[in-house]
């Protein structure tokens, strides 16, 4: 393996740890904060733990003697050029010259972490770490064999002050007040005006007795003391008025506080808990409903972007790979926050041995690989691939060991084949959608193997990927139906056509143009094919339609579907929406009155669709080294917005006559269908077939392109 991506550039001092360990432990803490009606409700898959003993080291060339401060989470020793200082020094002096510093840390309860700060000697991601140094001197003074020791670069995440202990990390909070409060005899119904998340704070609590807080994403839920999904119980015992903040943050718009007669309460506020990520992308257009949809999608995504990308804030609050995968894509068009993508990727993967699929779901293992494919495409970050490659390999080993006799993925004991929440969806035999995701995962492995220079593996993964892609068509393509069928059972193609494999094959470019056109008609726009009702799979369905230039159609769908939720008073987008339901039926799911999450990340897909398929910006080489801009108004009069890239934003303003574009970095190509030859300052256009023009865009300047939309 090529280690050229280790040892990337130095930075200021920061806390460091074994890559993934902080993330895994933080995920444990976060995911185990879920409660259901006051009861601890943990995940049902294996979760992992940190390495308790860690060696950190780096070689420095020190210009002149310096003193170095050392802060450590754990018991530790410090060695300079292999010789230990006595005790656990908080400060050492390092003479001028080339020196190796080792810090070995043991911490059972928390992640071993180190912060080192001298004039030139600082802890950062260029340090090397291992959980097994095999470094030993035998009785003759002969050094042990350390040739098999595996080093990675340290993990870090902007904990840049010595007092900012990684083990103490918590999201920031800010005070929020209610928009209205209805006071009852011994109760208070508080409305925060919109879906929110955080710690309820009870003010002026006094007396002796019991108090309950019933949370509701809807008013009905808060009022349903028997069926609301989350609640808190408080024992009050105070002769003085005092404030009390709940221990766990929760999701709600309404809270219904009920208390015994001997208890009094002045008011209720909350501490809004949020991830401090920066908004970079934007979208505005002439259609106010679309603008509202974009804003509520943004808020929905903000609420679900926490320590990690989670599924929904009320109920699961867990990291689900399929959900996270969509959050990554939305993130590239809003925050471009790579830290949260990496943190989520580490947390989902956990550690070896692999004992089950990610979240126990076969498709979710594959979405994990796909997430890395996209991460590389959007960021161009080879270093993360190198750091993560061994974990990718062992997870793929697990998958490969579970192929059936035909080399395909089929249900095995312990697997959950999810695909989608859809009535009567068959999981039997070999499901086409799983093979499709498997093929893309193998392509991801081949790509990453090449990045780390593991040539033999790259060849093997490519061969396997080609084989599965071929089988996808050999086994599932039905000429009569002009579609991929859903599955094969006992060696026979089934009759059933579902949308899943077909829509992914469009935007994965697995279909040729002819197949795409056929499938658009036979599947995507065919009402006979079972409809998708979750925003989860709507995400990909609408993406496929956009990839087939159906932006006008999709715009109407957006207004119907997301607009429909807004009309029903949604302040964030839901886990599921079925326009045929009425009233409180909308809140039901999983057989529970208020089982549905009214703020689910996968509900925010317009963020992605509007950025990628209306503004039309996407990378064509890793990290936006090159990119294309293919604006499509889809019936809008005008639109404008920003799309973030690793090196700054691409800003766009689009009408039917003019495209203004300015990009901070990368080599862009604006692709326009125009009735006339586009003109403008400083542009060189290339006519293509079918009246499509390509205009090269360099960073820094604003381009004003005049054209005439068809």
Per CB under 8 A, which region of 115-123, 300-308, 328-336, 408-416 contacts a second copy?
408-416
**Nearest Cα to 199, choosing from 220, 179, 176, 183?**
176
Q: Which is nearer to a second copy, 42 or 569 (CB)?
A: 42
Q: Single out the residue of 6, 11, 69, 85 in contact with a second copy (rule: CB under 8 A).
A: 85
Per CB under 8 A, which region of 216-224, 252-260, 473-481, 583-591 contacts a second copy?
583-591
Would you count residue 473 as binding a second copy (CB under 8 A)? Answer: no
Per CB under 8 A, which region of 44-52, 157-165, 263-271, 541-549 contacts a second copy?
44-52
The Cα–Cα gap between 16 and 158 comes to 9
Would you count residue 235 as binding a second copy (CB under 8 A)? Answer: no
Q: Single out the residue of 12, 59, 137, 687 in contact with a second copy (rule: CB under 8 A).
A: 137
Q: What angle do CA 302, 440, 423 make, to 5 degrees?
A: 65
Q: Which is nearer to a second copy, 12 or 412 (CB)?
A: 412
Q: Single out the residue of 32, 245, 264, 526 in contact with a second copy (rule: CB under 8 A).
A: 32
The Cα–Cα gap between 250 and 270 comes to 10
Q: How far is the CB of 139 from a second copy (least distance, A)?
A: 5
The Cα–Cα gap between 311 and 359 comes to 12
Q: Which is nearer to a second copy, 176 or 360 (CB)?
A: 360
Q: How far is CA 561 from CA 419, 535, 541, 564, in A?
A: 21, 9, 13, 5
Q: Single out the residue of 66, 131, 277, 669 in contact with a second copy (rule: CB under 8 A).
A: 131
> Could you tell me if 397 and 460 are in contact, meaning their C-beta atoms sit under 8 angstroms apart?
no
Handedness of CA 117, 121, 124, 128 (dihedral sign): negative
Would you count residue 4 as binding a second copy (CB under 8 A)? Answer: no
- Mind giving me the DSSP string for 61-121? EESS-EEEEEEEESEEEEEETTEEPSS--SEEEE-SEEEEEEEEEE-SSS--EEEEE-SS-
Is residue 197 within a helix (H) or strand (E), and if so which, with residue range? Answer: strand 187-216
Burial class (CB in 10 A: 0-12, 13-18, 19+), 129: buried
Would you count residue 353 as binding a second copy (CB under 8 A)? Answer: yes
Site for a second copy in 378-397 (CB under 8 A): 394
Would you count residue 401 as binding a second copy (CB under 8 A)? Answer: no
Per CB under 8 A, which region of 145-153, 327-335, 451-459, 624-632 contacts a second copy?
145-153
Is residue 349 within a helix (H) or strand (E), and if so which, with residue range? Answer: helix 338-349
Q: Single out the residue of 64, 75, 81, 495 in contact with a second copy (rule: CB under 8 A).
A: 75
Q: Which is nearer to a second copy, 50 or 538 (CB)?
A: 50
> Which ranges of 568-634 would DSSP assign to H, the alpha helix?
606-609
E strands in 507-637: 617-619, 626-629
Q: Single out the residue of 3, 4, 12, 37 in contact with a second copy (rule: CB under 8 A).
A: 37
Q: How far is the CB of 114 from a second copy (least distance, A)?
A: 14
The Cα–Cα gap between 573 and 593 comes to 18
Q: Single out the residue of 12, 109, 262, 621 in contact with a second copy (rule: CB under 8 A).
A: 109
Would you count residue 352 as binding a second copy (CB under 8 A)? Answer: yes
Would you count residue 248 as binding a second copy (CB under 8 A)? Answer: no
Would you count residue 145 as binding a second copy (CB under 8 A)? Answer: yes
Q: How far is the CB of 554 from a second copy (least distance, A)?
A: 26
The Cα–Cα gap between 103 and 110 comes to 16
Q: Which is nearer to a second copy, 225 or 681 (CB)?
A: 225
User: What number of chain residues touch a second copy (CB under 8 A)?
Assistant: 66
Q: Single out the residue of 1, 7, 8, 47 in contact with a second copy (rule: CB under 8 A).
A: 47
Q: Single out the residue of 7, 11, 149, 496 in contact with a second copy (rule: CB under 8 A).
A: 149
Would you count residue 50 as binding a second copy (CB under 8 A)? Answer: yes
Q: Which is nearer to a second copy, 137 or 170 (CB)?
A: 137
Q: Single out the residue of 60, 76, 508, 561 in contact with a second copy (rule: CB under 8 A).
A: 76
> Could you tell me if 654 and 632 are in contact, meaning their C-beta atoms sit under 8 angstroms apart?
no
Q: Single out the residue of 9, 61, 86, 689 in contact with a second copy (rule: CB under 8 A).
A: 86
Burial class (CB in 10 A: 0-12, 13-18, 19+), 688: exposed
Q: Which residues contact 648 (CB under 8 A, 6 or more apart)?
A: 663, 664, 665, 699
Burial class (CB in 10 A: 0-12, 13-18, 19+), 438: buried
Would you count residue 151 as binding a second copy (CB under 8 A)? Answer: no
Q: Single out the residue of 49, 161, 459, 676 in contact with a second copy (rule: CB under 8 A).
A: 49
Would you count residue 165 as binding a second copy (CB under 8 A)? Answer: no
Q: How far is the CB of 53 from a second copy (least distance, A)?
A: 5
Would you count residue 498 as binding a second copy (CB under 8 A)? Answer: no
Per CB under 8 A, which region of 72-80, 188-196, 429-437, 691-699 contacts a second copy?
72-80
Would you count residue 170 as binding a second copy (CB under 8 A)? Answer: no
Is residue 429 within a helix (H) or strand (E), and if so which, with residue range? Answer: none
Q: Provide the b/e sequence for 402-434 (b: ≥16 CB within 10 Å).
A: beeeeebbbbeeebebbbbebeebebebbbbbb
Beta carbons within 10 angstroms of residue 648's beta carbon: 18
Q: How far is the CB of 393 from a second copy (least distance, A)?
A: 12
The Cα–Cα gap between 336 and 279 comes to 8
**Nearest Cα to 20, choosing from 126, 112, 116?**
112
Residues in contact with a second copy by the rule CB under 8 A: 25, 28-29, 32, 36-53, 75-77, 84-88, 104, 106, 108-110, 131-137, 139, 141, 144-149, 233, 352-353, 355-356, 360, 394, 412-416, 421, 589-591
């Amino acid at each position: 393996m090529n280690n050229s991506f280790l040892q990337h550039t130095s930075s200021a001092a920061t806390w460091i740890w074994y890559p993934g360990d902080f993330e895994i432990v933080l995920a444990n803490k976060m995911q185990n904060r879920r409660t259901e009606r006051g009861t601890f409700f943990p995940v049902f898959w294996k979760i992992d733990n940190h390495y308790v003993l860690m060696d950190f080291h780096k070689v420095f060339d020190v210009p002149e003697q310096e003193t170095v401060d050392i802060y450590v989470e754990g018991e530790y020793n410090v060695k300079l050029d292999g010789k230990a200082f006595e005790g656990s020094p908080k400060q050492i002096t390092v003479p001028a010259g080339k020196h190796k510093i080792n810090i070995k840390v043991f911490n059972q309860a928390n992640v071993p972490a180190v912060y080192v700060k001298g004039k030139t000697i600082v802890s950062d991601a260029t340090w090397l770490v291992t959980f097994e140094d095999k470094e030993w001197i035998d009785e003759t003074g002969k050094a042990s064999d350390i040739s098999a020791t595996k080093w990675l670069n340290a993990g870090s995440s902007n904990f840049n002050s010595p007092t900012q202990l990684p083990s103490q990390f918590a999201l920031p909070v800010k005070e929020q007040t209610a928009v209205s409060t209805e006071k009852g005899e011994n109760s208070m119904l508080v409305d925060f005006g919109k879906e929110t998340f955080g710690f309820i704070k009870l003010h002026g609590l006094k007396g002796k007795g019991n108090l309950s807080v019933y949370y509701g994403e809807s008013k009905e839920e808060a009022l349903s003391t028997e069926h609301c999904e989350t609640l808190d119980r408080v024992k009050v015992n105070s002769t003085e008025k005092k404030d009390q903040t709940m221990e766990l943050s929760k999701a709600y718009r309404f809270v219904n506080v009920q208390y015994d007669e001997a208890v009094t309460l002045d008011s209720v506020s909350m501490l809004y808990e949020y991830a401090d990520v920066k908004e970079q992308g934007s979208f505005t257009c002439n259609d106010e409903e679309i603008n509202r949809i974009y804003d509520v999608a943004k808020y929905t995504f903000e609420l679900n972007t926490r320590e990690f990308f989670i599924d929904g804030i009320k109920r699961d609050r867990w990291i689900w790979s399929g959900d996270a995968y969509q959050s990554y894509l939305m993130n590239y068009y809003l925050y471009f926050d790579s830290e949260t993508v990496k943190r989520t990727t580490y947390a989902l993967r956990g550690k070896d041995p692999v004992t089950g699929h990610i979240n126990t779901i076969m498709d979710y293992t594959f979405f994990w690989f796909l997430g890395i494919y996209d991460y590389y495409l959007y960021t161009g970050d080879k270093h993360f691939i190198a750091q993560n490659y061994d974990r990718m390999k062992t997870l793929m080993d697990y998958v490969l060991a579970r192929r059936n006799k035909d080399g395909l993925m089929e249900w095995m004991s312990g697997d959950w084949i999810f695909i989608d929440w859809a009535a009567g969806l068959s999981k039997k035999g070999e499901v086409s959608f799983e093979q499709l995701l498997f093929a893309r995962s193998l392509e991801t492995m081949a790509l990453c193997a090449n990045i780390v220079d593991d040539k033999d593996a790259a060849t093997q993964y490519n061969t396997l990927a080609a084989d599965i892609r071929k089988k996808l068509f050999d086994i599932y393509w039905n000429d009569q139906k002009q579609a991929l069928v859903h599955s094969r059972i006992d060696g026979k193609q089934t009759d059933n056509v579902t949308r899943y494999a077909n829509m992914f094959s469009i935007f994965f470019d697995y279909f040729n143009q002819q197949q795409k056109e056929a499938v658009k008609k036979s599947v995507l726009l065919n009402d006979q094919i079972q409809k998708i009702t979750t925003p989860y799979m709507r995400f990909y369905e609408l993406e496929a339609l956009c990839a087939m230039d159906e932006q006008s159609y999709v715009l109407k769908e957006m207004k119907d579907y997301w607009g429909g939720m807004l009309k029903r008073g949604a302040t964030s987008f839901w886990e599921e929406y079925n326009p045929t339901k009425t009233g409180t039926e909308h809140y039901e799911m999983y057989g529970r009155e208020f089982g549905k999450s009214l703020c689910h990340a996968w509900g925010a897909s317009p963020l992605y669709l509007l950025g990628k398929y209306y503004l039309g910006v996407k990378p064509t080489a890793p990290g936006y080294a090159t990119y294309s801009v293919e604006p499509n108004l889809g019936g809008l009069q005008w639109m404008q917005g920003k799309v973030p890239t690793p090196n700054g934003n691409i800003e766009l303003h689009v009408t039917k006559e003019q495209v203004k574009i300015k990009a901070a970095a990368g080599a862009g190509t604006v692709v326009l269908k125009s009735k006339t030859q586009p003109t403008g300052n400083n542009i060189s256009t290339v006519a293509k077939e079918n009246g499509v023009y390509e205009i090269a865009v360099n960073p820094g300047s604003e381009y004003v392109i005049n054209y005439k939309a068809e």
